[in-house]
Amino acid sequence: MVKIAPSILSADFANLARDVGRIASADYVHVDVMDGLFVPNITIGIPVVKAIRPTTALPLDVHLMIDRPVRYVERFCDAGADLVTCHVEADTEENTRAALAKIHARGKKAGVVLKPKTPAEAVLPFLDDCDIVLVMTVEPGFGGQSFMADMLPKVAQIRAWIDERGLDCELEVDGGVAPDTRDACVNAGADVLVAGSAVYGAADVCARIQELRG
């Protein structure tokens, strides 16, 4: 069954606890952390992760769009993150490996993220150590962008590697996922769908989560 991870980037930040509560029927709370350096936007950080942690029973799926995330992963874990994903473009292979190890040492799930221009092969050095791989289907930085269908072969390739190796690794897609694009994602092999504007822009959030699950 496909998991749904609504992105609180599209929530009302002045009513964040209320809006996290509105997605209680989802599987993860997707938290987009941006530093204004790795991506041209600044969103939320460690204090906000800590603040929302007691407001929901759902796992917090923290997507770090920050430069050299190895510097901060432990603090995100301690703030209450359950899954932490780091961009492979954000540091050296050695440091990305160290970041994954630090997250695991905290007893949390770890993964890597690929930007649209990054080839599927970039996951290979990390795949055996990932609990989750996230494929961006928009340029990271902003919600509400159009889905990049040309990322689907990348999703399918990574799905094939996960299956060939028999890994216990989820495959997540993020960006432009909506009722009209979810089938293509699932058919390509995604099993976790991030959706921001499609969830929070819906008149009935709970029904939209169900619709995205399929």
Residues forming the active site: 32, 174
Residue 13 near residue 52 (C-beta atoms within 8 A): no
The structure tokens listed for 82 are: 């359950």
Q: How far lies 37's CA from each of 43, 118, 135, in Å?
A: 12, 18, 20
In the chain, the N- to C-terminal Cα span, in Å, equals 9
Q: How far is the CB of 165 from Zn ion (least distance, A)?
A: 25
The site partner of 56 among ligand DX5, Zn ion, none (C-beta below 5 to 8 Å per kind) is none
32 binds Zn ion (CB under 5 A): yes
Q: Which of 52, 55, 34, 53 is nearest to 44 (CA)?
A: 34
Q: Beta-carbon neighbour count of residue 34 at 10 Å? A: 21
172 binds Zn ion (CB under 5 A): no
Closer of 80 and 143 to Zn ion (Cβ): 143
Please tell me the total number of residues recorded for the chain in this structure. 214
Among 45, 69, 111, 175, binds ligand DX5 (CB under 6 A): 175
Closer of 79 and 195 to Zn ion (Cβ): 195
Rounded to whole angstroms, how far apart are CA atoms 189 and 53?
30
| Residue closest to Zn ion when measured from CB atoms | 63
Site for ligand DX5 in 25-84 (CB under 6 A): 30, 32, 63
Q: Beta-carbon neighbour count of residue 206 at 10 Å? A: 14
Among 174, 177, 200, 209, binds Zn ion (CB under 5 A): 174
Site for Zn ion in 58-77 (CB under 5 A): 63
User: What residues line the site for Zn ion (CB under 5 A)?
Assistant: 32, 63, 174
Residues that bind ligand DX5 (CB under 6 A): 7, 9-10, 30, 32, 63, 138, 140-141, 143-145, 174-177, 194-198
